[in-house]
Amino acid sequence: MQFNRKKYKLVKNLNHNIMKNKQNVIIVITSLVLLLSITGCVKHSYIDISTHIDVEYKNKKDSNLLNNHSKILLYYNINGKKIKAEDVMSQTSDHNKGYDVIGDSIKYIRIFNDYKDIKVDFFINYIQLDNYAIDTIKSELKNKKGSYFIDRVWINGRLMTKSYYNSINNVLTIIK
């Protein structure tokens, strides 16, 4: 049997190319796995939240105090400062006053806490209806698998609900 140098070089080059391609495939697969694992761990630089609290105002006779002429003032506690909601929300939200009045016959106030770039565990709102005393609403923010929601809510220091998110009736009542 005679040694054929051309065939040997051809087979050697073929084996070399196959090995080189295997290495390239391994490098590409490894790079993709690393890239996917790294991008899955990237933390966002802001919290994007869409949370709200619904509040109704009633008197001691159970009559709703909120009407079309009610004057509502809403403030947020941001970094320890009391700031008008409209000053914050007009730049970042569709709800430029920070709240909407919802309902026809039974009205309630929907307070929006969807301001951006603020990392908090609690929202603190100050709300005043007409000439009544200002009420403080503190709500705990929870993160569950990337979804942010309101959990516990206090009104004027009193725990109103242990799980606002899971409540059937999410309208909280303030009695004046």
168 falls within a domain: yes
pLDDT recorded at residue 148: 75
In this structure, the answer to whether residues 26 and 58 fall within a common structural domain is no
Identify whether 167 is part of a domain: yes
- Does position 171 have pLDDT exceeding 90, yes or no? no
Quote the number of domains for the chain. Answer: 2
Q: Are residues 145 and 94 in the same domain?
A: yes
Q: Are residues 170 and 142 in the same domain?
A: yes
The answer to whether residues 83 and 7 belong to one domain is: no
Q: pLDDT category, 90, cuts 50, 70, 90?
A: low
Q: Are residues 71 and 19 located together in one domain of the fold?
A: no
At residue 112, does pLDDT exceed 50?
yes
| Residue 59 sits in the same domain as residue 118 | yes
Task: Please report which confidence band the pLDDT of residue 5 belongs to, taking 50, 70 and 90 as the band edges.
Answer: low
- Residue 15 has a pLDDT of 58
CB neighbour list of residue 120: distance below 8 Å, 6 or more residues apart: 47, 141
75 and 126 inside one domain? yes
Residue with tokens 């105002």: 57
Give a yes or no: residue 25 inside a domain. Answer: yes
47 inside domain = no
Evaluate if residue 31 carries a pLDDT over 70. Answer: no
pLDDT of residue 45: 42
What is the mean predicted confidence (pLDDT) over 4-15?
58
| Residue length of the chain | 176
Q: Are residues 29 and 92 in the same domain?
A: no
Whole-angstrom distance, CA of residue 128 vs CA of residue 174: 11
In terms of domains, do 9 and 79 share one? no
> What count of other Cβ atoms lies within 10 Å of the Cβ of residue 95?
17
100 falls within a domain = yes
Buried b or exposed e, range 8-36, using 16+ CB within 10 angstroms: eeeeeeeeeeeeeeeeeeeeeeeeeeeee
Provide the percentage of residues in the chain whose pLDDT is more than 70: 61
What range does the domain containing 3 cover? 1-42
Closest C-alpha to 95, from 66, 52, 137, 126:
52
Whether the per-residue pLDDT at 49 is higher than 60: the answer is no
Inside any domain, residue 21 = yes
57 and 21 in one domain? Answer: no
Are 6 and 89 members of one domain? no
Please indicate, yes or no, whether residues 37 and 56 belong to a single structural domain of this protein.
no
